[in-house]
Amino acid sequence: MDSKGLAVLSGDVPLLATRHARCLGLVAVAVLGVLSFFIPLDYPAPPSLKISPPVCPQAYPLTPQRNGAFWRELTDLYATDAFQTRAVEQLSSAVQLPTETFDEMDPVGEDERWLNRGPFIDHLATAFPLVHASLELQRVNTYGLLYTWKGWRTDLKPILLMGHYDVVPVAPLSADQWTHPPYSGHFDGKFIWGRGSSDDKSSVIGILIAIEALLERGFKPHRSVVLSFGFDEEAGGYHGAQYLAAALVDRFGPDSFSMIVDEGLGFQEQYGTIFALPDIAEKGHLNVEIELQTPGGHSSVPPEHTSIGMLAALIVQLESNAPVPTLQLKDALLHAGKNRKALKTAEALLLKDPLFKALVGTTQAVDMITGGVKSNALPEQAWAVVNHRIATHSSVNETLQRDVELLENLAARFNLSITANGKLIMPATDVTYGSLALTTRQELDPAPVTPSNAAPFHLLAGTIRATFHVARKDVREGKTDIVVAPAIGPGNSDIRFYWKLSQHILHYNHDNMVDDVGANFGGIHTVNERVRVDAFLEMILFFSTLIFNADEAVL
């Protein structure tokens, strides 16, 4: 983000109720996203992408016009019990096929753990016959899937829909803690249970169900639709998405897609309002390895501090000086009020929530530690990994530099030399006792920011609102409001490899971020992962509406 588009929130609490900032305040209080790059009132939207003028600028619900007959037929179909049964069976069957991804897997063809992708791909061919008969399928690095649904208008940039079908492993010690077995795909009438039901087989299967339904009704798109499904997103996408993105660049060229939609944040219902939060950027990522080396020896004659003790002190230093986030909003928000002191108070209140605090700033977490080999031998080495998620206004280099500066004085007290990525920071001397090395791993600067004042974001927002208006009676009757606002993703997805393919990259899962039994994000990466069946049906409606709307829009 450039500095012109950002400012630190610093006004008063009453500001959050003003006409200019009421919507921003509601979403901030809901603790669901970072509302930088808010929709300006004077944006000259295309005729089909209208923006409401008052209080909280919002895209109107965007329903297909040219494709209206197709869309209405599908909305009726999706509301039937027969379709629900079909959709549940499709996702349940996909969940029953384990596709676990582990860290440090050898290349495809050298590691047998990749082989479980084969049965899943074979299942897709059987489950979605029209998709496989009508769309061109390119398999990339064996298990990456690129589907191309060619539109007849070659002058229109295609849209790209993404997902991944691999899942995190189920920890053996937690298997008996599941309400239903993790690969059962059990449906209890309300939830579909199992690993991948939420992250991210629901998106992959939801997209394919939507396209299969469109094909069954003879729909032929004007604008091409491309699907890219990775198979190792849970380990960074280095074998899947990296190859898939390269294949897309080779085939279509840079900046060749009008918009890309990948998994991301979803929605949450609070205060009689549905807050839907498509990500317009992702935070950066950095692992900093901290390695201490000191002389060994018998533990019967110990030094004042062993390498493990020193490492513990260094970790305490980091955790006692965690990065301090600030809430960042557009300059326009500052102009809505005059009391900067009270706005700082509002900022402090918002940052008390752990989720909100994590979204707006750089985070750090000491996730791994090891040291020593024997109870009576002084440890010659101690090692830890600090995981950072980097705020969009920061960088990998700035984060590493901060870690180094925090540890310098303590390292000097312990008589340690310091290197950072091989660069000497504090040289060894005659009294140097050991060495401290900081090394970066898996580094990624924050993603480019997608403008939320452009047609692709408005199209997505209008599609989200239209989906809710069709699927929710309380929304249609005006009992519940919908706010769509741009957010920042707290993690990283396969999209890191796709940055050069479009200037409009958006992340959104049409799923409830906190379900009605209190599970955050559908229990992803933990026991009892699940998805509500009504949310899954809404997801299918969302993808269908998005394809129709993109087919009609000027992008």
Calculate what percentage of the chain has a pLDDT beyond 70: 84
The per-residue pLDDT for 402 is 97
335 is an annotated ligand-binding site residue: no
Distance (Å, whole) CA 193 – CA 198: 9
> What's the mean pLDDT in 93-98?
98
**Residue 525 is assigned to a ligand binding site:** yes
Report the pLDDT averaged over residues 223-238: 96
Contact between 108 and 114 under an 8 Å Cβ cutoff? The reply is: yes
The whole-model pTM stands at 0.83
Phi-psi region of 255 (alpha: psi -120 to 50; beta: other; left: phi over 0): left
State how beta strands 225-230 and 144-149 pair. Answer: antiparallel
pLDDT confidence of 175, banded at 50, 70, 90? Answer: confident
The class (CATH top level) of 284-323+362-444 is alpha beta
Least confident of 124-133, 355-364, 396-405: 355-364
Nearest to 433 by CA among 347, 531, 320, 310: 310
Average pLDDT, integer, range 411-424: 96
* CA quadruple 132, 138, 140, 142: dihedral sign: positive
Q: Is 481 annotated as a binding-site member?
A: no
Q: Give 42's pLDDT tier (boundaries 50, 70, 90).
A: very low
The dihedral region occupied by 439, where left means phi > 0, alpha psi between -120 and 50, and beta the remainder, is: beta
pLDDT reported for residue 346:
62
According to the annotation, is 164 in a ligand binding site?
Answer: yes
- Contact in structure between 496 and 237 (CB atoms under 8 Å): yes
- At position 549, the amino acid (one-letter code) is N
Task: Give 48-108 as a 3 state SS string.
Answer: CCCECCCCCCCECCCCCCCCHHHHHHHHHHHCCHHHHHHHHHHHHHHHCCCCECCCCCCCC
| Helix, strand, coil abundance in the chain, percent, nearest 5 | 35, 20, 40
The predicted pLDDT at position 87 comes to 98
pLDDT reading at 7 higher than 70: no
Return the amino acid letter for 377: A
- Of residues 281 and 49, the one with the higher pLDDT is 281
Residue 545 has pLDDT above 60, yes or no: yes
* For residue 18, pLDDT beyond 70: no
* pLDDT of 99 above 70: yes
User: Which residues participate in catalysis according to the annotation?
Assistant: 166, 233
pLDDT tens-digit map of 265-317: 888 888 788 999 999 999 999 999 999 999 999 999 999 999 999 999 999 99
pLDDT band at 38 (very low <50, low <70, confident <90, very high): very low
The residue that leads in pLDDT, 318 or 38, is: 318
Confidence band for 56, pLDDT divided at 50, 70 and 90: low
Report helix, strand or coil for 463. Answer: helix
Mean pLDDT of all residues in the chain? Answer: 86
Looking at domain 68-262+528-552, its CATH architecture is 3-Layer(aba) Sandwich (3.40)
The three-class DSSP label of residue 7 is strand
131: tokens are 């998709």
The torsion angles phi and psi of 185, rounded to 5 degrees, stand at 60, 30
- Is the pLDDT assigned to residue 14 strictly greater than 90? no
Q: Which of 25-39, 122-136, 360-374 has the lowest mean pLDDT?
A: 25-39
pLDDT at 33: 35
Length of the chain equals 555
Q: What is the domain partition of the chain in residue ranges?
A: 7-60+265-282+325-360+451-492, 68-262+528-552, 284-323+362-444
Q: Alpha-carbon distance 120 to 337, whole Å?
A: 56
Asked if 389 contacts 358 with a C-beta cutoff of 8 angstroms, the reply is yes
Helix/strand/coil for 422: coil
Establish whether 353 is an annotated binding residue.
no
pLDDT at 365: 95
Q: How confident is the model at residue 371 (pLDDT cuts 50, 70, 90)?
A: very high
Does position 15 have pLDDT exceeding 60, yes or no? no
* 397 sits in which H/E element: helix 396-413
Report pLDDT digits (tens) over 133-170. 999 999 999 999 999 999 999 999 999 999 999 999 99
pLDDT at 517 over 70: no
pLDDT exceeds cutoff 80 at 344: no
Confirm if 158 and 223 have CB atoms less than 8 A apart: yes
The predicted pLDDT at position 490 comes to: 75
